[in-house]
């Protein structure tokens, strides 16, 4: 394996749409409901509207960077060109935290869904098998992996539309608005990381820029169409699932039980029972939504770790491309080993929060890079420029900073863990950052 080898450019706009939606779509199936016990319907709803505004502004601004610098490291490469190695390390590590901690949370949900069919098997073993299977699929080639992603994303979108069609006729405003703010406005603030989960990782589209045909055009199409699709699905899922029987019903399978990783089947169970065809269809097809995000973030995370290795911010082992499959096989394998270890902690909500911390810091730092590059390189070719001048990136910068500070305030221990992880990579990266 030689790090100087290049990726193959095989991805077009439809496959990028599939990746963009696929990275995120598991956030519609689980995770967001864990914000309901702290924020309630009103608290999580307001948090979600704020996060939608953040993602709209960020995605357009980030697309300008991705079209201008189409490299596998995404935010890491933009930060390196803007402010050098030290800044790139901060941005790139935030990106790695996002892409490393999200998959084990999704894997836990995959195990939980499968356990409904296979109650005799520990869900964690199902999750580990899924990790190994989809890591292998990603190693085999990006076009094959992206085509698979496109197919299961189509199924996942169809399933969410079907779910909404089955549940919206039973929508009750009285149930939807019941106990809307159980912990006051403080609880609404605590629900912000779970609102981020609705859209987390859409920026992974930029990490396959080196494998995209005509990236300056197709990345814009992929980003824009994926975000529009996700905003519509987010609204449908939020209203249709809670409106069936109130938020408590899609959080707790039974009174006094632990919070669930499968809120949508709980909503259908209320209407059709566990023996109904709709309940079983949702569980069967619903797995595709989880698999789409799990598989897609593994793909993006492999590219982020690869770029860190290629730049010597991680051991060179990470920065190798497989000579046959043209994929970052070493980085994918290392990420999977880390993910399985995180999965075994059993801390799904904590993994989601850590991933959200990484994403928010990434968004904030990327907008700093955006403004620096606009000032340092005003004449550089920009195939796409964000509409509205500096308004959208300014909103994204401010909102990401506010949400990050609020999340750190609400989750101080986890934020301390996040900071320790940020600092731990300096052991490997110090030479690349500061020189010998």
pTM: 0.86
Highest mean pLDDT among 8-12, 26-30, 92-96: 92-96
In a domain, 209, yes or no: yes
Q: Which range of residues forms the domain containing residue 119?
A: 30-378+402-429
Average pLDDT over residues 22-31: 86
Q: Which pLDDT band holds residue 214 (cuts at 50, 70, 90)?
A: confident
User: How high is the pLDDT of residue 430?
Assistant: 66
User: How high is the pLDDT of residue 2?
Assistant: 39
d(CA 41, CA 255): 19
pLDDT at 279 over 80: no
In a domain, 10, yes or no: no
Q: Which two tokens stand for residue 424?
A: 């731990």
Total structural domains in the chain?
1
d(CA 293, CA 341): 19
pLDDT at 172 over 80: yes
pLDDT at 182 over 90: yes
Q: Which pLDDT band holds residue 210 (cuts at 50, 70, 90)?
A: confident
d(CA 138, CA 262): 26
d(CA 381, CA 418): 36
CATH code for the domain of 278: 1.20.1740.10
pLDDT at 173 over 50: yes
User: How high is the pLDDT of residue 377?
Assistant: 94
Give the residue with greater pLDDT, 5 vs 31: 31
User: How high is the pLDDT of residue 428?
Assistant: 65
In a domain, 418, yes or no: yes
Give ∠ CA 94-100-101 in degrees, rounded to 5.
95
pLDDT digits (tens, 9 = 90+) for 407-420: 898 889 999 999 99
In a domain, 20, yes or no: no
Q: What is the Rg, in whole angstroms, of the alpha carbon atoms belonging to the chain?
A: 20
User: How high is the pLDDT of residue 93?
Assistant: 92
In a domain, 217, yes or no: yes
User: How high is the pLDDT of residue 3?
Assistant: 42
Report the mean per-residue pLDDT for the chain: 87
Average pLDDT over residues 240-255: 92
User: How high is the pLDDT of residue 308?
Assistant: 85
pLDDT digits (tens, 9 = 90+) for 290-348: 888 888 889 888 988 998 888 888 888 898 888 888 889 999 999 999 999 999 887 87
CA distances from 205 to 223, 225, 300, 399 (A): 7, 12, 8, 21
In a domain, 436, yes or no: no
In a domain, 96, yes or no: yes
Q: Where are the beta strands (DSSP E) in 318-391?
A: none
In a domain, 421, yes or no: yes
Average pLDDT over residues 87-106: 91
User: How high is the pLDDT of residue 429?
Assistant: 65
């Amino acid at each position: 394996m030689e790090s100087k080898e290049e990726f193959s450019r095989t991805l077009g706009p439809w496959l990028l749409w599939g990746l963009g939606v696929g990275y995120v779509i598991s956030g519609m199936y689980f995770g967001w409901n864990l914000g309901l016990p702290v924020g309630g319907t009103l608290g999580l709803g307001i948090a979600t509207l704020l996060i939608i505004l953040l993602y709209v502004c960020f995605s357009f601004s980030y697309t300008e960077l991705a079209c201008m610098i189409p490299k596998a490291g995404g935010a890491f490469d933009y930060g390196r060109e803007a402010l050098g190695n030290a800044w790139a390390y901060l941005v790139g590590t935030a990106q790695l935290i996002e892409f490393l901690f999200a998959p084990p949370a999704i894997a836990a949900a995959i195990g939980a869904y499968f356990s409904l069919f296979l109650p005799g098997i520990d869900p964690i073993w199902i999750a580990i098998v899924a990790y190994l299977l989809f890591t292998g699929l990603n190693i085999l080639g990006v076009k094959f992996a992206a085509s698979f992603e496109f197919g299961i994303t189509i199924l996942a979108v169809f399933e969410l539309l079907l779910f909404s069609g089955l549940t919206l006729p039973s929508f009750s405003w009285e149930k939807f608005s019941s106990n809307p703010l159980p912990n006051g406005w403080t609880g609404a603030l605590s629900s912000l990381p779970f609102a981020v989960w609705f859209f987390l990782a859409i920026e992974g589209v930029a990490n396959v820029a080196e494998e995209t045909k005509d990236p300056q055009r197709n990345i814009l199409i992929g980003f824009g169409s994926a975000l529009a699709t996700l905003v519509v699905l987010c609204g449908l899922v939020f209203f249709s699932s809670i409106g069936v029987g109130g938020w408590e019903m899609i959080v707790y399978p039974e009174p006094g039980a632990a919070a669930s990783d499968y809120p949508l089947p709980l909503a259908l169970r209320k209407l059709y029972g566990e023996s109904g065809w709709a309940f079983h269809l949702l569980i069967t097809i619903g797995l595709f939504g989880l698999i789409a995000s799990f598989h897609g973030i593994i793909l993006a995370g492999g590219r982020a770790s690869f770029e860190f290795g290629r730049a010597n911010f991680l051991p060179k082992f990470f920065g190798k491309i497989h000579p046959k499959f043209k994929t970052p096989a070493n980085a994918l394998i290392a990420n999977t080993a880390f993910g399985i270890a995180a999965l075994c902690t059993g801390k799904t909500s904590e993994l989601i929060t850590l991933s959200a911390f990484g994403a928010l810091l990434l968004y904030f730092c990327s907008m700093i890079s955006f403004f620096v590059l606009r000032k340092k390189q005003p004449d550089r070719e920009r195939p796409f420029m964000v509409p509205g001048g500096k308004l959208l990136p300014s909103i994204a910068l401010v909102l990401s900073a506010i949400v990050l500070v609020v999340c750190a305030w609400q989750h101080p221990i986890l934020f301390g863990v996040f900071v320790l992880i940020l600092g731990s990579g300096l052991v490997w990266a110090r030479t690349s950052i500061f020189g010998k």
